[in-house]
Every structure is written in C-alpha cells, then in structure tokens.
Chain A
Amino acid sequence: MSTPTVEKHSAALDAAEAGGTELITVTLRIRRFNPEEHADPVWVDYQLEMDPKERVLDALNKVKWEQDGTLTYRRSCAHGICGSDAMRINGRNRLACKTLIKDVNPEKPITVEAIKGLAVLKDLIVDMDPFFQAYKDVMPFLITEGNQPTRERLQSAEERERFDDTTKCILCAACTSSCPVFWNDGQYFGPAAIVNAHRFIFDSRDDAAEQRLEILNDREGVWRCRTTFNCSEACPRGIEVTKAIQEVKRALVTRRF
C-alpha cells in the first residue's frame, strides 16, 4: 500500500499548495434587514480569515455557518448556472459564486447588499415575483402555427446563431436590477424580459414574433430603455443585453426579424 504519488509531487505543485492556504483577513460589510427586528436595514461588519482565491459566496457561507446563522441569502448551484445569488457586491451587481475575493479589493471592507428595485424580504433576499411576472408576460416559450412536422423542426446553423447570445440567460436579475429605469418604474419590463423575448423573436422556428413585439411596443416596453449599458455590464453571462434591446427596437421600426 505504498503511495508513489507522494514522491511525484512536483516543486511547482508544492509551491502552489503552500501558497494556496495563505489566509488574509477580510471584512464583509453586509446590508442586513430583518423586518421583525427593525424597520430599517442595517450594515453589519464581519471579520473573516479567507483565502483571497475563494469566492464571496464562500465568505457568506462562512458567516452563516460559523458566525451568525440568521444571515439569509439565496444560493443553489454555486457555479454560476442557477442564477439565484445575484447581489450588489461593492456597488455592482454580480453573482457571489462567480466573484473571487481577490477581485473585489479585500483590503477595504467588501460591501454586500440585496439587488435594487425589488422589495427586500430579508437580508439579501428580494421578492422576485415582479421580475418573473415580466418574464412570463413576454411569452418565453415556442409558439408555432400550422401542422406539427413529423420530425424535428429544422434550423440552420446561421439561424441558430442569430439568437445564440440571448439563450445564455440564467434569469438571475442582475441586469434588470441594475437598470435605473427599472429602479424608478417597476412596471418597466426590464432587460431580462426583453432578452428572453429576443431569444424567441429571432428564432426562425417561432411564429409569435409579432405578438411579442406588440407587447414590447407598449408604454412600459423597449422604448423606456435609455441605453445606459448597466445591464450589459452587470450580466454574469456576458450577454450583450443592450444590443439585444436595440435589435428588438430595430425590429419594431423596420418590422424585419
């Protein structure tokens, strides 16, 4: 039962492992809110010993598991896929599970707060219902006319490429809750809903583009967009959100899609 792998440890790997456990003290400044405790939100500082290569989500977990179990936040996959842990970290919307501590200047306190424009229920948890209502309103599902084909609905690679960018959305609400128009007008559909409408409007297999465009032609639709580019900057998936919104506007004007 000898373990020859031990000898095979390269010097580089040893160095990486030794360096990998270098801990630093970080301050996590979390905007906490508990309506049963106090009507106002309150900033609370937590001191942590963290590896700077860990993520903000690890820091939050550490607070919750080791310091204060009352801290509340959403997370599920922890790998940037489920879209449940969008939050404002150092004033910018990001996924806590995709943000490394070394990237958000751990020398100063790292501020963490709930995303803006949606009602905060507790700590970092917001009421996502209005967000998903806007998503549902653009009918984010395939609508077809005529007879069903006997085999699959064919599409060329170019036709698929047309809306490839907007298929990447994980509905984390980072874009919508970074939009200053949405902060002031909760009736605005918001970038995420428009991105998901774009995904079907430009899908060659879908036949309801007209209907979706009509929905977004509304007073609270695409024309409220001010091309602030906050959404494109906030998107953890790198979707060119503002570009997608502009493409929907152009489709509305030219009626070509």
Chain B
Amino acid sequence: MSKRITLKDLDAYYGSFRAVEGVTLTIEPRSVTAFIGPSGCGKSTLLRTLNRMHEVVPGARVEGEVLLDGRDLYAPGVDPVLVRRQVGMVFQRPNPFPTMTIRENVLAGVKLNNRRIAKADAEELTERSLRGANLWNEVKDRLNLPANGLSGGQQQRLCIARAIAVQPEVLLMDEPCSALDPISTLAIEDLIEELKQDYTIVIVTHNMQQASRVSDRTAFFNIAGTGTPGRLIEYDDTRVMFSRPSAQATEDYVSGRFG
C-alpha cells in the first residue's frame, strides 16, 4: 500500500509571502518521518503541501515537485480530491464532525462521497478502523452516540480511525498529541508504531522525546528570523539526528538549547 514521497526544490507561498523554501527530501515507505523545528518554521505548511491541502488557504500556492511514487502531485490535470484520498491527514486539534455519530464519523470518507456501502461492509470497516486506531474497546457500545461526547484523546483517535477508513497510502499527522494527556499520547504513539507496517507516516511534533521514540528519520527545519522562509537544515536517521547531528543548529535544537 504505502508509497515513497519525494520533494524536489519545493517552495510554499501564502500570497506573496514565501513560508517554505527549497526543500528537497525523500520520505521512505513503511516508515515514520518526523518534522521538527521551532514554531513558525513551516512544518505544518510543508506537511499540507503533501496532500494539496495547502491550496485550500486563499492565495496559497506551491512551486516545485512532490512526487508520490514518481508521479508529480502538482502536475497539470491532477485532481486534488483524488490526491487527498491517497494521502490522509490528522490535524493538531481533534475535529470530529459534530452533527454525526461515532459510526458516521468513521464512515465519513465513504458517506460524504455518496458512495454506497453494504451494511455488513460498513460494520466491518467501522470495526477495523476503530480497532486500527485503538479505540474499538472504548466505543463499541456507543457507536450511535454523538462523537463530541468523547474525551479529547478519544476524539483524536477517532480522527485517526476516520483517516485510515478511506485506506490511504500515506498518513500525515500535524502534532497529533499536542492536545492530549501522557496516556493518550502513549496510546497514539503505540498506534503509529503499528500503523507504520502499512502506511507511510509523516508526523510533525514539538516533542523531542516523541520524535526520537516514534520516528525512523527526522527532518529539522529552521528559519533565519521572523518573516524569512523556513528551510530544511538537516535530514537523517533519527538516531543520528539525536546523537551526532552534523549541523550546529540541529544539535542546539535537539538538546534544547534554543527553540
């Protein structure tokens, strides 16, 4: 299922402001890649260019290439809707649909697209996705209750279940644990560990321990100052990044001396 992502000299703009500049890197399939860096360096922006969510912001645009198994996502004629079905996303703040029940939330990707699904298949998909997100046992008795009755951590795992229910190739996570307690965080980290068997995972995090715990490769981004574009400083195996990085800025950042 999972796919390799290659970025070639990617620039991301908000109107005339260049938020990310000249990023070139390759994200391996069936692995977890972490984006780290100080606030405002463009991690979320870069993440959102990977499933064409960046252009949802009015005036936002992208230059350069993002290749998904060699196919450019920004080539003319590529349908962003189809891209997003292959590259799923989990947001920083849990955002279940308030008008829907837990079950409807999990099936949202199917139902919202007006696709017909047999009742048995829907049951099966709901259970598989919720089990995949480690949430099944907690909600199996209240699938028909509103989703905003769940705790924050449960809501976030519901959002993960919702994202994996459309069976994407890649899963993007933008600080998925920043609103969660340590126990929910651990549950999600375990989940990421399991999900990487099937998916290519990219995670943005501010938590150095988390990056070193869950990721195989780590990319460090930085900005020269406010108003300047974010750049990729260093990209390497997570072990290397946290033990003997080659750039001084990386060492300062991962050891907590700045940022």
Q: Answer yes or no: are A and B bound together in one complex.
A: no
On B, residues with C-beta under 8 Å from A are none
